[in-house]
Amino acid sequence: MNLGERLFELRKAKNLTQDDMAEKLNVTRQTVSKWETNQSTPDFDKIMPLCELFEIGVEELLTGNKPEEKQEQKEEKVLTRQEAREKSAKVVSVSIFIYIAAVAFLMIAVPVKHVNPIVASSIFLLLIGWATARIIRNHMSMPKFEKTKAEKRQDKVLRQINGIIGSICVAIYFIISFITLAWHITWVIFVINGLICQVVKLIFMLKEGEEDEK
């Protein structure tokens, strides 16, 4: 549909005559007729008045593309269950690597490289925050699928394993802290706890992928 045809359809939709439209735009009826028959096109200063008259945007007036149609074109591809699992596995894998790098940096930076403890701790926390943000963002952006019975069983087992790991890490934290009195360092155990939990989660995700392929 060309511009003239669109103007004709828009005018009819508003129940306006060519005289009505000409009066509202401060032009002659002949001008409106020429627009609709593509003998001429509206001047630049008439574009916005036309948009206001028909209550549409400039793009819709000139191209015919409605906002909702454009929005549909921009919608992201909906991930399948397998694609979502693979994407999550990649995000978790990279995040685990960042966790390990952060812990390794903290263990080497201060005692070996003699980096300022405040600077080292700041870099460590930034790395941990970055990895955690990646995991949270991935979790929030993933489409929600109804879990199968097998997935529900795996989730239950995963929660139990993580609970056991958490309890062990807490016990280790207090034992080491009381023995060494290095409370300012032993809190890293909780970061290691989070790292182990993510590794376990990744193992379960990879196991699910292998079962789906079979």
Percent of the chain with pLDDT strictly greater than 70: 89
Rounded distance, CA 33 to CA 102, Å? 71
Q: What is the mean pLDDT of residues 114-124?
A: 87
For residue 211, the model assigns a pLDDT of 59
User: In a 10 Å sphere around its CB, with 0-12 CB exposed, 13-18 middle and 19+ buried, how is residue 39 labelled?
Assistant: exposed
Computed over every residue of the chain, the mean pLDDT equals: 82
For residue 28, the model assigns a pLDDT of 92
Question: pLDDT digit string (tens) for 13-64?
Answer: 889 999 999 998 899 999 999 989 989 888 888 888 888 888 888 888 888 7
DSSP state of 146: P
Task: Indicate the domain borders of the chain.
Answer: 3-74, 81-213
Q: What is the mean pLDDT of residues 101-120?
A: 85
Q: Which of 150, 155, 163 is nearest to 196 (CA)?
A: 163
Is the pTM above the cut of 0.85?
Answer: no
Rounded distance, CA 15 to CA 131, Å? 59
Of 141 and 8, the structure prediction assigns the larger pLDDT to: 8
- CATH superfamily, domain 3-74, is lambda repressor-like DNA-binding domains (1.10.260.40)
